[in-house]
Amino acid sequence: MTVLSTPRLQIRPWRPGDRPALERMALDRDMMRYVTGGEPWSAERIDAFLEDQAAGYRQHGLAFGAVTHRARDRVIGLAGIQPLDSGAFELGWWIWKDHWGQGYATEAAAAVVAHARYALELDRLYAVIDPPNSASIRVAEKLGMVFEQRISARATRAERPDTSIVLYVVRFGGPGPAPTRRQPGAGGR
């Protein structure tokens, strides 16, 4: 499993001691406003998330990892990649509200984008964003992502609600068929 580092942050797999930080975020209505419409996650949903991320690292080498301050190793958010039901890959990020406006979301997401492009050799990444979330739209645009379409969240992952979201995309190669992971030896960047 790859640990990603930036000047201020590290993105790493979740550790058992990280659960309280994830709970703090997932139980906070402000944090969850654009994730679940402000509804906190249940303890079962938090456990399922952590299990899904661990399985993602084991099976695919990617998941939403814990974002920490490098100097303090304190969890301040999450960022990473997960597969969508279509086989495409989603870029996602959350930053604890006490750290909003400091560029951490862009910094963490940029490290994930670089990893997706150069290490994983993905063709593209999608960001699934609640339309009123202007801060996440700005982050996506800073990453070079562009608006692709407005669809139901359920169309991206079956367990998501049937609510309207916007998809932003960054393409690393030319236009082509549905997003896929390149096979070793197939060329790339």
The letter for the amino acid at 73 is D
- Give the pLDDT of residue 35: 92
Answer whether residue 181 shows pLDDT above 70.
no
Q: What is the largest CA-CA distance in the chain?
A: 46
Answer whether residue 2 shows pLDDT above 90.
no
Query: What are the structure tokens assigned to 59, written together?
Result: 């099976």
| 49, HSE (Cβ side, Cα atoms, 13 Å) | 19
- Give the pLDDT of residue 175: 44
Cβ proximity of 46 and 35 under 8 Å: no
pLDDT digits (tens, 9 = 90+) for 43-102: 999 999 999 999 999 988 889 999 999 988 899 999 999 999 999 999 999 999 999 999
Cα(41)–Cα(44) distance, integer angstroms: 8
Residue 34 pLDDT grade (very low, low, confident, very high; cuts 50, 70, 90): very high
- What's 8's domain CATH number? 3.40.630.30
Nearest to 180 by CA among 61, 60, 88: 88
Task: Specify if 189 maps to a domain.
Answer: no
Answer whether residue 188 shows pLDDT above 70.
no
Cβ proximity of 131 and 111 under 8 Å: no
Q: Which DSSP state fits 154?
A: G
- The residue among 187 and 47 whose pLDDT is bigger is 47
Answer whether residue 182 shows pLDDT above 80.
no
The letter for the amino acid at 13 is P
- Give the pLDDT of residue 1: 62
**Beta strands, E only, 84-123:** 89-95
Task: Specify if 180 maps to a domain.
Answer: no
pLDDT digits (tens, 9 = 90+) for 118-166: 999 999 999 999 999 999 999 999 999 999 999 999 999 988 888 999 9
State the residue for tokens 């301050």.
69
Task: Specify if 52 maps to a domain.
Answer: yes
Answer whether residue 178 shows pLDDT above 50.
no
Answer whether residue 41 shows pLDDT above 90.
yes
Domain residue limits at 151: 4-171
* Model pTM score: 0.88
Task: Specify if 112 maps to a domain.
Answer: yes
Task: Specify if 176 maps to a domain.
Answer: no
- Give the pLDDT of residue 177: 39
Task: Specify if 179 maps to a domain.
Answer: no
Task: Specify if 178 maps to a domain.
Answer: no
Cβ proximity of 99 and 85 under 8 Å: no
Task: Specify if 181 maps to a domain.
Answer: no
Q: Which helix (H) or strand (E) holds 169?
A: strand 164-171
**Looking at the 3D structure of the chain, how many domains does it have?**
1
Q: Which DSSP state fits 122?
A: B
